[in-house]
Amino acid sequence: MAWTDDRVATLTKLWADGLSASQIAKQLGGVTRNAVIGKVHRLGLSGRAKPSNPKRKTVTTAKSTKPQIKTTRAPSAPRTPRIVAAAAPPAPPPLDAKPMANGEFATILTITDHMCKWPIGDPGKSDFRFCGRKTDPEEPYCVPHSQVAYQPSRRRGSSQKAIGPNPTSRKRLM
């Protein structure tokens, strides 16, 4: 299934309207809930519509002279999307692949331990390659690709953002 511009526009509208990923998947057809969640994440649509503000009704009972407050939702309150601040500044654009000494690009058959293993292109196509730049020992990526791959982590419940990557929290993917 390909994400056409029309399907992405529909997804964006339904997400802003507050529909769940399952509901959106059913309306789009031919796509799973997880595919919708993945596309929402890649598009950066993390903001969700806020639920309507509940209306409060004051109810008195025969036993009590003290008024009790009962909360109910407004039946058709409009939903507005909330704006979520970006977690980190945008990463620099990935580098193009660097040719090896023989003029060829690094492939799965020619890549070595000290070459950047950042994939470039579509793995299903013949022009797929790896970055191939020199890496530090024990690192799978060159410095620019490491900055893209390793994002700073945030503590739960904290509104402050971590500054810079934490080298001790890196996990090797390979």
Overall pTM > 0.85: no
Residue position matching structure tokens 């601040």: 85
Q: Which residues contact 82 (CB under 8 A, 6 or more apart)?
A: 47, 48, 49, 50
C-alpha 95: how far from chain center: 21
Tell me which fold the domain 1-51+78-85 belongs to.
Arc Repressor Mutant, subunit A (1.10.10)
List the structure tokens of 158.
């904290």
pLDDT in tens, 114-165: 888 888 888 888 888 888 888 888 888 888 888 888 777 776 765 544 455 5
CA pseudo-torsion sign 131, 135, 137, 139: negative
Alpha helices in 17-166 (DSSP H): 21-28, 33-43, 143-149
Annotated domain spans of the chain: 1-51+78-85, 86-153+162-174
Residues 6+ apart with CB under 8 A from 83: 47
Tens-place pLDDT, residues 84-127? 555 555 555 556 777 777 778 888 888 888 888 888 888 888 88
